[in-house]
Structure 1
Amino acid sequence: MKETNLLIFIPGIALFITLLLALFLIIAKTKHKISNRLFALFLTLIGIDIGGVFIDFIGENPSNLGMLNNSITFLQLPVFYLYVLSVCYSDFSLKLKHLFHIIPFLVVNLILLPNYYLVDTVSKISFFENNLNGVELKFNYTLLHIQIVAYMIAIFMILKKTKKLYLENNAGSSINSYNWLLQFTIALTIFYCIALFKNIFKLSDYTNISEWIKIGLFLFEILIICWYLFKALNNPNVFRNVNSRLKPVADIVSERQKSNHFDKVENNYEETLLLLNEYMKTEKPYLNPSITIQYISDEIQIPVRDLSLLINHKLGQHFFDFINAYRIENAMRILKDPEKSKMNILEILYEVGFNSKSSFNTAFKKHTGITPTSYRNQF
């Protein structure tokens, strides 16, 4: 009885919070509606999956609705994958080719059509009684496991690539958003790994263990959804930063080495570096919190790829760190200036081009080895 109450109460809370957040994302005012709506769809699919618990309690007999509800899982990660793409790439848009991602969902339901969807209730019960030997369920579970692993690997590869592209081309604080999305993806990966572990017991003689793991999953689901809700409330505007057509510097170097143009860039290295440093000192573009390598390229009239090679390849540092070095040097001058001793740390970080205390402290400690407060106390 206690287990039954938990299997109703906990999923009920999870379902309410999930749908509430989905509604929030749909109605939230933002210029990046595609991202919000894709995540709202992802949460709705999770909500439908949670609703399967209540379908089980409404009717004792297996139903087509219950099986269809179970197969919704095959749509969750494809939608989350599209959400990650929409967040990472500024030029993302939904296209017909993205319908390819619903193929696993269609396949599993077509496989179940002759021996489950189109048969009577007695045959459905027999289908589940023989589930350990059933080819259809074994195939579906295997396909689900493969899908989860494949999509998680693809998502982590996207995050790795876009973070690298961001560091090579931008110097804003949105890197914190990438770190947050990575954390959420890791939490989601743990969730699906536990779900896969649960399925092992579900297809064995220890189904009671599967039910208790399910309760734990609902609690974990509530936790990560509430965490996301907290983040969403504090950051209602979804970030999008990198153009998908950008290439990592390593790829550009490889291409240039095969052509004579790379030698030209090498020969002009010193001249270009002097021009860049002069521009940085006189114009101070790093004071702009959203500065990009494209902006500097336009200002000093050097092709963005050549400038990227200079900073990210020849100088051996990301554009992100290159810009932050100038910001930190400026901050150090302010911190040791007695006439500006009344400026607090928050005022200083905004003054030099940062727009978050955490990113300023991280960059300052990386550059100097100590915190801004410790540095100021030395003078």
Structure 2
Amino acid sequence: MEKINLLATISVITIFISLFLSFFLVTVKTEHKLSNRLFAFFLILTAIDISINLVDLFKFSLNIRIFISTFFFLQLPAFYLYVLSVCYSDFKLKPKHLAHSIPFLTANLILLPCFYAVNLTSKIKFLEKSSSMPEVQFNHILVHVQILLYIIAAFMILRKAKKIYLENYSGASIESLKWLFQFTVALSFFFIIALFKNIFKFTEQPNVSESLKIGLFFFQLIIIFWYLYKALNNPSLFRNIDSKLKLVEDIIFEEKNSSQLAINEKEYNSALLKLKQYMIDEKPFHNPSLTIQDISAAIEIPVRDLSILINHKLEQHFYDFINTYRIESAMNILKDTAKSKVTVLEILYDVGFNSKSSFNTAFKKHTGYTPTDYRKIL
């Protein structure tokens, strides 16, 4: 009885927080409306899925209860589309995305003749033997395959988006991509535990399954609180990238296949000299939102050629290339005894950073010291 009450309490709290965060995401003023709505949809699906545990409170019919349980098939597709929308600024929902609902439709069509369309007595018999019913076993296999595929797909999207970001942007949004990666890891861990819970459910140790179930609800509540904290403190958490941008390795591959190099050695040296002179004279790195497109327009070198020049020829991501200039500028300020009263926070904003953590990470990577320690040893 105490276990049931605990589960119901956790469920109610999680549902309330999920719906509250959904309302916040839908109503908050932001440029990323689609991303917010997709995550709100994911949270609403989560709340609906959790509501199954409150069957005694809501008195759901068997058909509704089973139908709601199949909403799980929509949760990971919703999260995957959310990841796409966060990563790419020009992402839009299209008719082709309806294909993500196929597992959900398949699961319900399988249950139609053997459960939904039969009388109450047959339904009860079906539930009593559910662990041995081929339809239920098929749906369990389907959901586990879906979990695996969508988790892999989400990580592949994040990996590609991070590489494109590093090759084309210089802002602090890389921290946001790292956070989204961490959030995806947390969700992956959650679904892996859920997988083991389902395995134990069909063994001679159902108590292990119930214990894991309670643990999952605690973990789910923590994940949602974590996201709520981030959302409230960073309402414009992510800066998207353009999906039309290509990885340098793909550009080089295309150039080789067409038997045409982007720039020859003489042009490369000329472009490099022009780029370095521009960086020294104009100091564009002071702009925290600087992109490779901005520099391309300023020095009149095509984005493709400039991208190959920096990311391939110099063997540096654009992100690191710009940060090198920012760190050199910060080092000069720290060395200047006339500016000894200028704080590290003022310096990081002055040289183009807008995140203390990214500044400290970049500075230590470049010098081996934190900014504060570097100032002390001078």
- Normalization by structure 1: what TM-score? 0.97
Measured against aligned partners, the alpha-carbon deviations of 1:295-331 in whole angstroms (never above 9, x if no partner) come to: 1000000000000000000000100000000000000
Measured against aligned partners, the alpha-carbon deviations of 1:190-221 in whole angstroms (never above 9, x if no partner) come to: 00000111111222333232222111111001
Letter aligned with residue 7 of structure 2: L
Aligned to 2:9: 9
Measured against aligned partners, the alpha-carbon deviations of 1:200-246 in whole angstroms (never above 9, x if no partner) come to: 12223332322221111110011111011111111101423211111
- Shift of the 37–166 alpha-carbon distance from structure 1 to 2, 3 Å rule, reads same
Q: Which of 69-78 and 14-23 deviates more?
A: 14-23
Aligned to 1:326: 325
Letter aligned with residue 109 of structure 2: L
Whole-angstrom CA distance in 2 between matches of 1:53 and 1:305: 54
Letter aligned with residue 269 of structure 2: E
Listed as ranges, the matches of 1:125-164 within 5 Å are 125-164=124-163
| Identity within the alignment, % | 59
How far is 1:257 from its partner?
2.0
Whole-angstrom CA distance in 1 between matches of 2:162 and 2:189: 22
SS in 1 for 2:47: helix
Aligned to 1:47: 47
Listed as ranges, the matches of 1:189-268 within 5 Å are 189-262=188-261, 264-268=263-267
Aligned to 1:315: 314
1:30–1:238: 8 Å Cα contact kept in structure 2? no
Whole-angstrom CA distance in 1 between matches of 2:81 and 2:204: 37
Whole-angstrom CA distance in 1 between matches of 2:70 and 2:362: 46
Listed as ranges, the matches of 1:223-372 within 5 Å are 223-262=222-261, 264-372=263-371
Whole-angstrom CA distance in 1 between matches of 2:23 and 2:116: 32
2:263–2:305: 8 Å Cα contact kept in structure 1? no
Measured against aligned partners, the alpha-carbon deviations of 1:144-194 in whole angstroms (never above 9, x if no partner) come to: 000000000000000000000000000000000000000000000000000
Aligned to 1:112: 111
SS in 2 for 1:271: helix
Whole-angstrom CA distance in 2 between matches of 1:365 and 1:264: 34
1:35–1:238: 8 Å Cα contact kept in structure 2? no
Give unpaired runs (5+ residues) of structure 1.
none
- Shift of the 366–123 alpha-carbon distance from structure 1 to 2, 3 Å rule, reads same
How far is 1:122 from its partner?
1.3
Whole-angstrom CA distance in 2 between matches of 1:275 and 1:241: 29
How far is 1:260 from its partner?
4.7
2:262–2:305: 8 Å Cα contact kept in structure 1? no
Aligned to 2:183: 184
Whole-angstrom CA distance in 1 between matches of 2:266 and 2:255: 13
- Shift of the 199–263 alpha-carbon distance from structure 1 to 2, 3 Å rule, reads closer
- Normalization by structure 2: what TM-score? 0.98
How far is 1:29 from its partner?
1.0
Give unpaired runs (5+ residues) of structure 2.
none
Whole-angstrom CA distance in 2 between matches of 1:18 and 1:288: 37
SS in 1 for 2:132: coil
Q: Which of 330-339 and 119-128 deviates more?
A: 119-128
1:32–1:238: 8 Å Cα contact kept in structure 2? no
- Cα RMSD, aligned residues only: 1.3
SS in 1 for 2:288: coil
Measured against aligned partners, the alpha-carbon deviations of 1:97-132 in whole angstroms (never above 9, x if no partner) come to: 111100110000000000100111211111122223
Kindly report structure 1 stretches of 4+ aligned residues shifted beyond 6 Å: none
Q: Does 1:172 align with 2:180?
A: no
SS in 1 for 2:91: coil
Whole-angstrom CA distance in 1 between matches of 2:56 and 2:121: 17
Whole-angstrom CA distance in 2 between matches of 1:178 and 1:274: 32
Letter aligned with residue 224 of structure 2: I
SS in 1 for 2:240: coil
Whole-angstrom CA distance in 1 between matches of 2:7 and 2:333: 59
Aligned to 1:35: 35
Whole-angstrom CA distance in 2 between matches of 1:268 and 1:35: 42
- Shift of the 263–47 alpha-carbon distance from structure 1 to 2, 3 Å rule, reads closer
How far is 1:62 from its partner?
6.7
Letter aligned with residue 258 of structure 1: N
2:288–2:354: 8 Å Cα contact kept in structure 1? yes
Whole-angstrom CA distance in 2 between matches of 1:263 and 1:29: 43
